[in-house]
Amino acid sequence: MSTIVLACSSLKEYIKTAMETQNVNYDIILIDRSFHIEPAKMKREIQNTLSKLPTNIDTVLVAMGFCGGTWDNVTFPFRIVIPRVDDCISMLLQTDDQYISNRKETGTSLDYVSGSNRILEKLLTGRWDKQFLVAEPGHRIRHADFFE
């Protein structure tokens, strides 16, 4: 079986860097970041993209967050592993292993933030802990899966 990465195009360089530093290599499918403007369109694009995957794919590593509900109430025939964050900004603000779904609400100044590839590195190397949703095939992903 096989694994691929599904990612927001805004994270392309971060993902490449994480793969390089962690010495892993997966095919990457990019979802155009312009879909963020309308989450319903992004959700349709994600579903359309994933419906076209080859049948040998058994795991999709998702490099994006909940993104306005794009992952709410969906089911897929393969394992989905996705960071439990509200969006890509919160994902890049994660610098430790503590589960916080929205780092922007915890007082972080966004004027300058050094950021981190920590979540992406964990995603790509299978170190899936409480910061990740691991949805097995057939699991209906819900809002409550992301946010405690």
- Domains of the chain, by residue range, sit at 2-140
Q: State the average pLDDT over residues 15-43.
A: 93
Give the least confident one: 32-41, 85-94, 136-145: 85-94
The candidate with the shortest Cα–Cα distance to 63, out of 117, 20, 6, 22, is 6
Other C-beta atoms within 10 Å of 32: how many? Answer: 11
Pick the CATH number of 2-140 from 3.40.50, 3.30.70, 3.30.1560, 1.10.3720: 3.40.50
Give the least confident one: 60-64, 86-90, 105-109, 111-115: 111-115
Other C-beta atoms within 10 Å of 77: how many? Answer: 12
pLDDT value for 111: 46
Give the least confident one: 10-24, 58-72, 96-110: 96-110
**Alpha carbon of 111 to those of 21, 85, 134, 140: distances in Å?**
27, 20, 33, 37
Q: Is the pTM of this model over 0.85?
A: yes
Contact criterion met (CB below 8 Å) for 70 and 138: no
